[in-house]
Amino acid sequence: MKRCNNVLKGKGWLMSAFLLLIIAEKPIHGYNIGKKLGEFGINLKGVSNKGRIYTFLSSYEEEGYIESNWDTQYSPPRKIYNITQKGLEYLNSIEEEIVIMKDYLDHFSDRLANIKNRQG
């Protein structure tokens, strides 16, 4: 079985992976990212939890995975996030890690099923 490369590390890695995927699908602003995270079962209730989105966005922008532009057609203006080529490459690395992790989880489930079958 392959070993993970530790692309996925730190607290909140799963939410941040979904966040990057959402941005890769189409340019989007922060509020709508929060709504789209619900499609992955991530419910961010409360101001402090919703603020986590902007922490990830700021970090990803610093790393060069995303970039932003202001859409002034709205009042107030909205910051629209786009994925960069570097971000797409990172997203591919995330996918590789998730595939490896899925193999480990399948292996875990198989071994647990064997234990349950022995217990009858």
Which of 57, 53, 62, 47 has its CA nearest to residue 81?
57
**Claim: this prediction has a pTM higher than 0.95:** no
Per-residue pLDDT of the chain (120 residues; tens, 9 = 90+): 555 555 555 567 888 899 999 999 999 999 899 889 989 988 877 545 678 889 999 999 999 999 999 999 988 999 999 999 999 999 999 999 999 999 999 999 999 999 999 997
What pLDDT, on a 0 to 100 scale, did the predictor assign at position 6? 52
The pair of structure tokens assigned to 90 is 């990172």
Backbone angles phi, psi at 75, to 5 degrees: -125, 115
Q: Where do the domains of the chain lie, and which CATH numbers do they carry? A: 13-119 (1.10.10.10)
d(CA 43, CA 95): 22
